[in-house]
Amino acid sequence: MSILATDDKQITLIFDPSTKLGRECQAYAVSSEAKVLAIDLTKTKVADTEWVEIADRLGKTVPELIAKDHPAFTNQFGEDVELDSTDALKVLNKNPETLVYPIAIRGDKAVMAHTFSDVLKLIKPDSSDVKIP
């Protein structure tokens, strides 16, 4: 059973609003016709089981969700640190700003938004008003 919603009518956005990319992704998600559940990592904690499920949906491991070059990470842990899943979950919970990219989920699809336009992959085009001769 899925912990995250799998509703095709909702986009779940997991992001840090203090970043420009996070705010841009939020704007794109809100501009869609879908309902948006914005999970602001500065205010809301994501459970370990949810991080594991998110990583699975993305086809990644939990350590791959962390930006190891982020100052919050390097200042605390140094460089060239190898993390296992347990360590990565602790980092994400204590330092959510180390999430490498915002993550958008809609239905059974998930994208790691390297650019704000990656959110468009989850937005369905509405062609019902288009008249094709």
pLDDT at 83 over 70: yes
Stretch 72-97: mean pLDDT: 89
Other residues' Cβ atoms within 10 Å of the Cβ of residue 53: 17
Other residues' Cβ atoms within 10 Å of the Cβ of residue 90: 12
Domain ranges of the chain: 10-122
The CATH number for 10-122, chosen from 3.40.30.10, 3.10.180.10, 3.30.110.30, 3.20.20.140, is 3.40.30.10
Q: What gap in Å lies between CA 51 and CA 91, rounded to an integer?
A: 11
Instruction: Give the residues across from 39 on adjacent strands.
Output: 14
Evaluate whether 40 touches 17 at the Cβ level (below 8 Å): yes
Q: What is the SS3 assignment for 4-44?
A: CCCCCCEEEEEECCCCHHHHHHHHHHHHCCCEEEEEECCCC
What's the pLDDT tens digit per position in 17-75?
999 999 999 998 998 888 999 999 999 999 999 999 999 999 999 999 999 988 888 88
Q: What gap in Å lies between CA 66 and CA 90, rounded to an integer?
A: 11
Between 124 and 83, name the one with better pLDDT: 83
Confidence of residue 108 (pLDDT cuts 50, 70, 90): confident
Other residues' Cβ atoms within 10 Å of the Cβ of residue 96: 20
